Amino acid sequence: MDDLQWQLSNHGGVLPRIVDEILERGGLEALVAAARERADWFCAVGAVRGLCAAGEFGRAWTVVEPFAATGWHPAVRTGADVLLRWGRVDRALELAHPKGPQEDTVGVWRDYAEVLVRAGRVDDDFGVLRPYEHGGWVRRVGTAGGC
């Protein structure tokens, strides 16, 4: 716990490799606390990974939800993955759906298409992908893994 506190104070966050070590040594609750109290993204990711592995999807969602609510793409992607694994398909699709023109990038739409595929809504996927079908990433949609 002292190392965790030092990382937060001196680096503005905990390095991913330290998060992995904390998780491996049974420090899941410390990561959950750091994610909530310090808004540390890497601690949140580690906590989500550990909670999902334990089948605690509701708790994983409470950890990632504040980050996803900002609209920051990596957090949205992680949140959608948690929601899918938790069986909250409609909420995952709502979260992952690009919200405006500033998000009209291939990466955001590709991630949304992957959520559609993982949710079993492949038919809906074709309409989303049509504008990007000439890009090489279309053939790869649906091959990405989750948390």
Chain mean pLDDT for the chain: 82
Nearest to residue 119, comparing CAs of 93, 146, 86? 93
Asked whether the predicted pLDDT for residue 142 surpasses 50, the reply is no
Is it the case that residue 38 has pLDDT exceeding 70? Answer: yes
Alpha helices in the chain (DSSP H): 2-11, 16-24, 28-38, 41-53, 57-68, 73-86, 89-96, 106-118, 122-129
User: Mean pLDDT throughout 118-137?
Assistant: 66
pLDDT of 127 > 50? The answer is yes
pTM summary value: 0.78
Residues 52-111: tens digit of each pLDDT: 999 999 999 999 999 999 888 899 999 999 999 999 999 999 999 988 665 557 778 888
CA distance 70 to 65: 9
Comparing 125 with 34, the larger pLDDT belongs to: 34
